[in-house]
Structure 1
Amino acid sequence: MITKEEVKQRALEIGFADAGFAQSTPFESQREFLTNDYYGWTQSVGIDLWKGLDPQNIFPDSRSIIVLLYSYFESSIPPLLQKYYGRCYLNDDRVTRDGLFTLVKKFRDFLKSNGINSKVANYMPDKLAAMRAGVGTSGKNTLLYARSAAGGSSFVFPVVVLVDYDFSPDAPSIESGCPSWCRNACIAACPTKALLGNGKINPQRCISYLTYYGEGVTPLELREPMGLYIYGCDRCQNVCPRNTSWLYERKDSTERFISMEEDFMPEKILLMDREYFQTKIWPYMFYMSFNDVWRWRMNAARAMGNSRDERFIPYLEKALENFDDERVRIMCIWALGRIGGSSALKILENIRLQNTNADLAEEINLAMENCNS
């Protein structure tokens, strides 16, 4: 039978940044987290975190856990893409299956060829599993930081693989790796106050959550704090001193990101139709289908407003002419008020004359006040 060293070596050859081993026992410490109000929403979107607390619920024959670290920030990403999108989402291949999916398949095929059955464990406490397997430590921003890969940064994604073979566990690293001199940079940088300190988070205030799971029109008090992000967020990672080295590491560019740059600009997202979405966006962004196109458009309009860039005004006007969804219209109106100026004010005045919706009238009046201030 193969050894741990051979398994890890094969993982590195395939393209993973690190690999570690842990016992296949329940994650009892996570029950406390799941009993608070912050995680009730997960069931409604089909994420069964309770089931993931015990590896036996996912793979009854599980005897060991292998955690593979995937380093997703290995290529240079154009600044404009980073401006509007979280980096990890730009590497999502759950539709194209040409990236991480391929690596995982190769790894599992290797295990199978050596008589080991496996199952990828979705919705398990993957960050805790990675620390249990000794390949990472935690951060105050609740993210996992690699111990030796990717410059010790948080730009890694843990893949939990359950296997029906007993491997001796590696030494765990269940601890915070944040330096004592860090003055809570991530917590201070979170504009929506999602980070609560002591490694805890209110996920429903996280910008990433709000961009793809937020219900209804984004509340007024969160529109400015959410800034330019259309999908995902990297603010707490960008300010973290543990990430500084990897952020500035020289990286080669890839055709994937170069081609995405133009296609993913906010004006394209705001006005896209179904064909554009399915050919340009959906292959790379998994969480929001075209059924959620209103959310894509709303997020793009908010980003335009927070840019304060007048070049976006014609696109916002066109969206108001073309789309009836009230959530999109509200955000376009808000964005015009946020950008301000005589051109935006004129559009708002015309909309007010045509409007018969009381909720919209309130947004129009507020936007016009902002234009005049």
Structure 2
Amino acid sequence: MFNSGQIDGPHLVSEIQAWARELGFSQIGVTGVDLSSAEAGLSAWLSDGFHGGMTYMQAHGMKRARPAELVPGTVSVITARMDYLPARTPDAWQSLEFARLQRPQEGIVSLYARGRDYHKVLRQRLQSLSDRIALRVGPFGHRVFTDSAPVLEAELAARSGQGWRGKHTLVLSREAGSMFFLGEIFVDLALPQSAAVTEHCGSCSACIAICPTQAIVAPGKLDARLCISYLTIEHHGSIPVELRPLMGNRIYGCDDCQLVCPWNKFAQRSALPDFDERAGLSGSQMVQLFGWTEEEFLRFTEGSPIRRIGHERWLRNIAVAMGNALRVSDDVAIRAALDARSGHGSEVVREHVSWALSQTAVMPDSIRHP
């Protein structure tokens, strides 16, 4: 372990914050490793089965709440926030995103996934920040994370002053809303901890009310098994039939709870071009996206977080959305595209295509959230 008595902790944290800004991070915080007060909530969430098919969460158990067990020698956790709205995002972006839900033939990809894979961006820059710290203090024990290991990211972020846990479970900042990524550096340096902030959701429950599948079962409690982000990204196999009509035209992720949040009027634009929208991942017609061969899927999603779901789940998701489009109005092009995949080699794809082809127009208000 590094002898932290050799450093001026407050001065080093100030330096880390300055270096982080140069690397594109928006905020740096520091917290300790005692997360014992979060263990009961984590245990109850797992016991309720709210993690769904994410079995790795159950496998790691309480290690998620014990940084010093995950990385022996850890004394402090440096947390980092990186805003991800593209630099040219207009002021009325929330309204523009909601408008996409009224265009059934358009496939909606979550805002965070329209640019470069954030795992790669944050990991590289967190490592660069760690290298810079090493130049200042000498070799020290550390490990960087960004949504890549059993880490209670939101809990660490809240304890380190990045914001508070909103009722949708995401971290909210008065200065930046929730449109940002989080990353951590576990270090063997005893650094002064940042002050936590108070919560400012008040009586607002807009995120709970708007969730298409009512996945936010209580303030601060999310049942992932109902969440459209989970269903389109993490969930393998068949999507429950009763949830399919509620997914609308969302083909990768869901932003509704963030779009409706009043604090996101303060969401910050990214200074990095990495998160600029890629051609084809915003405003594209589902017929076009559904027509991608596996080779085209891999090519168009190279360096994108979307690639990790694979071509089969990509087709599965779009088939559901196309079926929902047919529930709004019949569309010859959509039916032809679905028919062309009816003999696909994947049973999962065939089943979702068959379901989609069986859909017929119903009253729009019964399938789309107001």
Q: TM-score range by the shorter chain?
A: 0.7 to 0.9
The CA deviation at 1:138 is: 1.3
Aligned pair partner of 1:102 in 124, 129, 133:
124
Q: Distance in 2 between matches of 1:145 and 1:262?
A: 25
Please state how far the C-alpha of 1:217 moved relative to its aligned partner: 2.1
Residue 312 of structure 1 deviates from its aligned partner by: 1.8
Which AA in structure 2 matches 1:257? E
Shift of 1:215: 3.9
Cα offset, 1:68, TM superposition: 0.4
Match of 2:358 in 1: 337
Query: Which residue does the alignment assign to 2:365?
Result: none
Aligned length: 329
Residue 164 of structure 1 deviates from its aligned partner by 1.3
Query: SS of the residue aligned with 1:67?
Result: strand
Answer yes or no: is 1:26 the counterpart of 2:35: yes
Q: 2:78 is matched with which residue?
A: 66
> 1:74-93 to 2 correspondence within 5 Å?
74-76=86-88, 84-93=108-117
What is the distance in 1 between the residues matched to 2:50 and 2:347?
A: 28
Q: Deviations over 1:102-152 (max 9, x none)?
A: 32222111112122432124321111101111111111111111243x3xx
Matched, 1:307 2:325: yes
Letter in 1 for 2:202: P
Unaligned runs of 5+ in 2: 1-6, 90-95, 363-370
Alignment correspondent of 2:367: none
Structure 2 residue matching 1:69: 3-state secondary structure:
strand
| Deviation, structure 1 residue 179 | 3.3
Q: Is the 8 A contact 2:54 2:234 kept in 1?
A: no
Task: Give the alignment partner of residue 255 of structure 2, picking from 234, 238, 242.
Answer: 234
Output the amino acid matched with 2:34: T
Map of 1:351-366 to 2, 5 A cutoff? none
Shift of 1:66: 0.7
Q: 1:177 aligns with which of 196, 200, 203?
A: 200
Amino acid at match of 2:201: C
1:276 deviation in Å?
1.2
Amino acid at match of 1:69: R
User: Cα offset for 1:300?
Assistant: 0.5
Find 2:143's aligned residue among 95, 119, 131: 119
Partners of 1:243 and 1:198 in 2: CA distance = 18
Structure 2 match to 1:202: 223
What is the aligned counterpart of 2:240 among 192, 203, 219?
219
The code of the aligned residue for 2:43 comes to L
Equivalent in 298, 303, 306 of residue 283 of structure 1: 303
> 1:149-184 deviations in whole A, cap 9, x for unaligned?
x3xx111122121111111111123x532133x2x1
> 1:326 and 1:297 mapped to 2: Cα distance?
12
Change (3 A) 1:328 1:120: same
CA distance in 2, matches of 1:90, 1:250: 13
Moved more, 310-319 or 255-264: 255-264
CA distance in 2, matches of 1:262, 1:176: 33
* TM-aligned CA distance change 1:314 to 1:279, over 3 Å: same
The structure number with the bigger radius of gyration is 1
Does the residue aligned with 2:172 lie in a helix, a strand or coil?
Answer: strand
Structure 1 residue runs without a partner (length 5+) = 342-373
| Alpha-carbon distance change, 339 to 252 in structure 1, aligned in 2, over 3 angstroms | farther
SS at 1:328 equivalent: helix
Over the aligned positions, Cα root-mean-square deviation in angstroms equals 3.2
11, 18, 25: which one aligns with 1:9: 18
Q: Secondary structure at the match of 2:77?
A: strand
Larger RCO, structure (CA 8 Å, separation 6 or more)? 2
Q: Is the 8 A contact 2:24 2:272 kept in 1?
A: no
Distance 1:104 1:134, change over 3 A: same
**Whole-angstrom distance in 1 between the partners of 2:309 and 2:209:** 33
Sequence identity (%): 27
3-state SS of 1:179 partner: coil
Against the structure 1 CA distance between its residues 216 and 280, is the aligned structure 2 distance closer, same or farther, given a 3 Å change threshold? Answer: same
Residue 340 of structure 1, CA deviation: 5.1
TM-score when scaled to structure 2?
0.78
TM-score (normalizing by structure 1) = 0.78
Equivalent residues in 2 for 1:125-136, closer than 5 Å: 125-136=152-163
SS at match of 2:235: coil
Q: Which residue of 2 aligns with 1:359?
A: none
Q: Relative to structure 1, is the Cα distance of residues 188 and 40 closer, same or farther in structure 2, using a 3 angstrom cutoff?
A: closer
Compared with structure 1, are the counterparts of its residues 103 and 273 closer, same or farther at alpha carbon in structure 2 (3 Å cutoff)?
A: same
Letter in 2 for 1:179: G
Write out per-residue CA displacement over residues 333-353 of structure 1, whole angstroms, 9 at most, x where no aligned residue: 332333559xxxxxxxxxxxx
Contact 1:118–1:162 under 8 Å retained in 2: yes
